[in-house]
Structure formats: C-alpha cells, structure tokens
Amino acid sequence: MTYPIQKTAKEWKALLAEKDAEGPAFDVTRRAATEHPFTGKYDKHWAEGTYACICCGAKLFDSEAKFDAGCGWPSFSQAAVPGAIEEHVDRSLGMKRTETLCAQCGAHLGHVFDDGPEPTGLRYCMNSASLDFKP
C-alpha cells in the first residue's frame, strides 16, 4: 500500500527515537507487533485531549471516545476524524480480525472489534506504543 507519508525503516526509527517513543513503537507500528496487555502508558490514562499517530501526528481519537474495556489496551468507541483509520482483514494467529492502520502513514495501530459500547458498538483496541497523547 502507498500512503501519503513515506519513510524508510531507518527514518521511522530515528523519528520515533526523537519523540522518545515507547520501546516497542517501531515493531508495533511498522511490523504489526502487539505490546503486552496492561503495559502501555495509555491503558489507564484518562486526561482530556487527543490521541494522534506516534509516527506522523495524524489525529486519531478524542479522549471522549476512550473507555475502559478491561482488555489491557487503550480502547475507543470511534475515530476522531472520518477516514483517519484504515481497516484491513487480518487472518494471522488463526483467526479473522480487523486490523487498524493510520491512513496517513500506514502505521499499525491495533484492531477493531464489534463488542464496544453504544452508539457505535465498536471497540478500537489500540497499542499505546502507536499513540501520542496531546492535552
């Protein structure tokens, strides 16, 4: 896939280091890894603000959409901006899930499930390492 923002692996690593991103940020965002549950800095983070892509700064979620799903990852009921998140079928790990990526740079964010709260019924289950909070 081609995204509006393109960088080499070396450039992404340098950018994430500049931002003092969490240790697994490169593997999560560029290699679709998953951080361990209950280890990310935004799992129990409840300040008001916005959550952006750690790689490119695109606005992804507002704090009003964040809820405690009890799953160990930050969870949101909807994206902040229509079209900010791209979805793809993920058949890894022997199951069918919906992977979420930043529509601007292709960073892997996590997955979306249909077991969230109303009115959307969605649970965007994100890796903290893929997010950057802005108060």
Other residues' Cβ atoms within 10 Å of the Cβ of residue 9: 10
Catalytic residue flag (residue 125): yes
Query: CA 12: distance to chain centroid?
Result: 16
Residue 117, CA distances (Å) to 27, 62, 63, 88 in order: 30, 15, 15, 22
- Active-site residue identified among 53, 56, 102, 125: 125
Q: Measured between alpha carbons, how far is 53 from 105 in angstroms, rounded to an integer?
A: 9
Annotated catalytic sites, by residue? 125
